């Protein structure tokens, strides 16, 4: 949230809601001290009732990877290990949000974001829901490619689609620098491509664990991503970004080429893929469908929540 203040000019009012009011008050106080560095913005702690007329609600509630035991590189579930616990949290939070802000766009940040966004759609009863998806993974892809090619990450075009998790798909076939395929550039350097691809993919798939091992939590990258997505919605930018929303062609929430504006994800397009990449995306879709079914099963066992 601090990233919203640092970027400046995005929000006029930010309300923090937490099940522990003292925590929300403490974070709001901490953030307010950065307000003089940005255009006018009001930051305060509040309750669900303070979300009335909110244009966008960012949901970050739930346990993180370290607390939820999702930091084992050999665990194929990855972030999905947090799903049952966080689905229970969402079963309580989302109906409360929707009861006071039925018109708001809902942005899911909590891991695993894609099945939780699908769950949020069901709980909210509308499609103005999206998750941070694979934007952070795509940025990491660009950074690793830039390091290998000794160029600016800004000049690298590369995308990750599917799940924000271990089944994500790196689109090597369309990754480029200045219109030149990165595989061609990497090959020209005499680097063994299979080894390079493996190293980069492992670094991206488990970047969160590497960060957690060093700092205890992955915060800054996803914070910057969240601030950027808030901008795109509140400014109705119609920005093209790899974020996740429900796609009827796949009947699940996943990241593709998404157009993000005032109503959330307005359109989604499938990028060009090789047969290998498409097969990997199909596997990712299967993983996400099963995760969404699991989340819905968890919620069906919970008592209905109401406004507080």
Q: Which of 276, 294, 283, 288 is nearest to 247 (CA)?
A: 288
HSE-CB of 171 using CA atoms within 13 angstroms: 25
Catalytic residue IDs: 164
* Tokens at 229, concatenated: 């997505």
DSSP assignments along 48-105, one per residue: GGGGTT-SEEEE--S--HHHHT---TT-TTGGGGGHHHHHHHHHHHHHHHHHH-TT-E
Question: Can you tell me whether residue 41 is helix, strand or coil?
Answer: coil
Residue pair 156/146 in contact (Cβ under 8 Å)? The answer is: yes
CA dihedral over 158, 162, 164, 166, signed as positive or negative: negative
Q: Which of 193, 165, 162, 190 is nearest to 270 (CA)?
A: 162
Q: Which of 30, 82, 38 is nearest to 60 (CA)?
A: 82
Rounded to 5°, angle at Cα 115 from 235 and 18: 65
* Tokens at 276, concatenated: 């290998």
Question: Can you tell me whether residue 250 is helix, strand or coil?
Answer: coil
């Amino acid at each position: 949230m601090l990233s919203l203040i640092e970027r400046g000019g995005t929000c006029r009012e930010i309300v923090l809601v937490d099940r522990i009011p003292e925590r929300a008050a403490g974070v709001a106080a901490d953030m307010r001290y950065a307000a003089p560095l940005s255009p006018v913005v009001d930051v305060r702690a509040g309750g669900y009732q303070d979300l009335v007329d909110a244009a966008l609600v960012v949901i970050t509630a739930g346990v993180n990877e370290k607390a939820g035991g999702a930091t084992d590189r050999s665990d194929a579930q990855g972030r999905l290990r947090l799903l049952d616990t966080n689905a229970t949290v969402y079963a309580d939070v989302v109906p409360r949000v929707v009861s006071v802000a039925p018109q708001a766009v809902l942005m899911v940040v909590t891991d695993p974001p894609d099945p939780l966004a699908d769950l949020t759609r069901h709980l909210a009863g509308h499609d103005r829901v999206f998750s941070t998806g694979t934007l952070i993974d795509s940025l990491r892809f660009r950074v690793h490619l830039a390091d290998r090619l000794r160029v600016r990450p800004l000049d690298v075009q590369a995308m990750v689609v599917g799940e924000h998790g271990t089944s994500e798909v790196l689109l090597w076939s369309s990754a480029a620098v200045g219109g030149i395929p990165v595989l061609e550039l990497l090959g020209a350097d005499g680097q063994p491509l299979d080894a390079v691809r493996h190293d980069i993919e492992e670094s991206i798939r488990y970047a969160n664990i590497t960060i957690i091992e060093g700092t205890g939590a992955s915060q800054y990258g996803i914070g910057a991503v969240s601030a950027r997505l808030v901008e795109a919605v509140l400014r109705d930018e119609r920005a093209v970004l790899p974020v996740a929303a429900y796609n009827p062609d796949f009947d699940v929430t996943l990241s593709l080429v998404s157009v993000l504006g005032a109503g959330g994800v307005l359109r989604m397009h499938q990028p060009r893929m090789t047969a290998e990449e498409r097969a990997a995306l199909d596997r990712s879709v299967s993983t996400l469908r099963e995760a969404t079914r699991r989340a819905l099963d968890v919620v069906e066992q919970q008592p209905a929540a109401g406004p507080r």
